[in-house]
Amino acid sequence: MDWSPFVVCAPEEYAPASRGLGSAEGIADRLRTAAFAERQAFAAFLWAAEKMSDASDELRAAWRRIGLEEEMHLNLLLGRMAELGVKVEDRPVSDRLWRRLIQSKTAPEFSALMRDAEARGRAAEESFRRSLAQRDPVTAAIFGRIADDEAEHLAVADRLAAGGVESNADYPSKTKDFDGGPR
Ligand SMILES: [Fe+2]
Ligand SMILES: [Fe+2]
């Protein structure tokens, strides 16, 4: 997998811990980690849509749509990093999430793993939204917007897990308002 411009550490290694949130470096580390989580989620949703032969057409379509939103999140975060002069390649990241997700053998297994990942991501982003609100409101707003989207992804995942059918009509694309987003 080509993860460039991210620098990925060896499978047995852990990425270096984020520096203090009170520093510019700490904000940079969180932006980079969040961006790479989005990168992995983007890749994993498209991988699942392609490979999970037990998934319904509706589920594959939902995965593709959500995957493209993860790509938008990635671009929001990369855009903010560029504005702050943060280099993607300055510190390594771990692709453990991706490696775990692609071990899935069935659609329910993938859905459950991804749901956990989305919930953890959402909780982290919510906490950054609050803790950065005063010091860096622009970054805080980006984390907040992504947290809100992840809440929707979780709702879609839960509806699909309950056997609901997702259609393009009841899941409006957010592509349009991203054009005028915080970048
Ligand atoms: Fe996302
Ligand atoms: Fe998501």
Distance 38 CA to ligand 2 centre (A): 8
pLDDT tens for each residue of 66-77: 999 999 999 999
SS3 at position 176 = helix
39 Cα to the center of ligand 1, angstroms:
9
In this predicted model, which residue has the larger pLDDT, 43 or 181?
Answer: 43
- Centre of ligand 2 from the C-alpha of residue 120, in Å: 10
Cα of 41 from ligand 2 centre, angstroms: 7
* Average pLDDT, integer, range 13-32: 96
State the pLDDT confidence band at 160, using cuts at 50, 70 and 90.
confident
Decide if pLDDT at 138 tops 50. yes
Identify residue 79 by its one-letter amino acid code. G
Q: Above 60 in pLDDT, residue 3?
A: yes
Ramachandran category for residue 121: left, alpha or beta (phi over 0 → left; psi -120 to 50 → alpha): alpha
> What is the enclosing helix (H) or strand (E) of 131?
helix 107-131
**Domain architecture of the chain: domains with CATH:** 24-167 (1.20.1260.10)
The C-alpha angle 94, 100, 101, rounded to 5 degrees, equals 110
66 C-alpha to ligand 2 centroid (Å):
6
Q: Which residues have a beta carbon within 5 Å of ligand 1, which is an ion?
A: 38, 70, 73
Whether the predicted pLDDT of 166 surpasses 70: no
Do the Cβ atoms of 128 and 140 come closer than 8 Å?
A: yes
> Tens of pLDDT along 94-115?
999 999 999 999 999 999 999 9
Single-letter code of the amino acid located at 68: L
